[in-house]
């Protein structure tokens, strides 16, 4: 009788071990099937940058359509394409090419806007002891847009930006503070621009769905215009697979010099 009991117990142990192995295998398969989504989703932010650059050899293409509505003067469509690549560890390079379509009162204007080139260098990598990542960014704007048609300023600008990003459970926070030295055309003078933004990403569904929010503003560059733009945005980003992310955002203007509202939709493709 004792032998039978011991035999039954032994069989139960074998069955339990088999179940444990099967569950461990299933868990491992699930883990391996989840893509690596460490790169922050930054679209559909209007201006905010992350302090975490792309890894060396990684490349992403971001495309977006932005619609800005001004009740007093009209509407502006902007179609942007941004190509970002990781040059070396902690350093990335970005090229931004915009197409602008203005519909202001009876004046319809469209064409290439001012091209921008950006280089981002991370100084401090977030760790357990120092959770915030800190980066600096150099921004050069080239006068590729026709200034006589309102598609650019007609002069090159140089900007510097300090970026901080910190990860909390489910939430990542970004803080940007920048200063742009404006080029001036003969007979026309612009003020240098101070820009700032505070944004967050909330991981609603791990590795799949993120909710984003952003408060962004800057000093008006035209001294003949009073008041500064300030916008509040809420948006969503959905990762379709390891390579493709689609997004949409809606921003409202908080000051008279801001667009009444802005709709921002786009897609990111990771190479």
Residues 224-262: tens digit of each pLDDT? 788 899 999 999 999 999 899 999 999 999 999 999 999
Given pLDDT bands bounded at 50, 70 and 90, which one contains residue 5? very low
Superfamily of domain 36-270: monomeric porin ompg (2.40.160.40)
Q: Which of 124, 68, 131 is nearest to 101 (CA)?
A: 68
pLDDT at 214 (0 to 100) = 98
What integer is the mean pLDDT of 74-97?
A: 95
Given pLDDT bands bounded at 50, 70 and 90, which one contains residue 20? low
Structural domain boundaries of the chain?
Answer: 1-33, 36-270
Beta bridge partners of 86: 92
pLDDT at 127 (0 to 100) = 80
Residues 136-162: tens digit of each pLDDT? 999 999 999 888 887 888 889 999 999
pLDDT at 153 (0 to 100) = 80
pLDDT at 215 (0 to 100) = 98
Residues 173-225: tens digit of each pLDDT? 999 999 999 987 766 778 899 999 999 999 999 889 999 999 999 998 888 78
Q: Which residue pairs from 57-62 have beta carbons closer than 8 angstroms and sit at least 24 positions apart in sequence?
A: 57/86, 58/85, 58/86, 58/270, 58/271, 59/83, 59/84, 59/85, 59/86, 59/270, 59/271, 60/84, 60/268, 60/269, 60/270, 60/271, 61/268, 61/269, 61/271, 62/266, 62/267, 62/268, 62/269
């Amino acid at each position: 009788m004792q032998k039978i009991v011991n035999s039954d117990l032994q069989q139960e142990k074998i069955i339990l071990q088999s179940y444990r192995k099967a569950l461990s295998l299933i868990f491992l398969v699930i883990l391996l099937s989840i893509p690596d989504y460490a790169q922050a989703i930054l679209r559909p932010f209007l201006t905010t940058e992350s302090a975490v650059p792309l890894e060396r050899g990684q490349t992403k293409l971001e495309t977006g359509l932005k619609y800005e509505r001004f009740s007093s003067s009209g509407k502006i469509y902007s179609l942007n394409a941004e190509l970002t690549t990781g040059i070396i560890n902690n350093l990335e390079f970005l090229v931004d090419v915009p197409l602008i379509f203005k519909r202001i009162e009876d004046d319809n204007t469209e064409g290439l806007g001012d091209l921008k080139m950006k280089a981002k260098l991370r100084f401090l990598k977030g760790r357990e002891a120092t959770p915030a990542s800190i980066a600096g960014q150099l921004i050069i704007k080239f006068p590729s847009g026709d200034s006589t048609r309102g598609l650019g300023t007609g002069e090159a600008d140089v900007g510097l930006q300090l970026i901080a990003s910190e990860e909390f459970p489910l939430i990542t926070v970004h803080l940007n503070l920048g200063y742009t030295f404006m080029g001036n055309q003969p007979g026309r003078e612009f003020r240098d621009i101070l820009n700032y933004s505070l944004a967050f990403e909330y991981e609603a569904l791990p590795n799949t769905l993120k909710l984003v929010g952003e408060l962004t503003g800057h000093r008006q560059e035209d001294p003949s215009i009073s008041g500064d733009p300030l916008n509040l945005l809420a948006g969503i980003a959905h990762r379709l697979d390891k390579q493709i992310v689609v997004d949409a955002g809606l921003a409202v203007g908080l000051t008279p010099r801001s667009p009444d509202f802005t709709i921002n939709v786009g897609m990111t493709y990771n190479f």
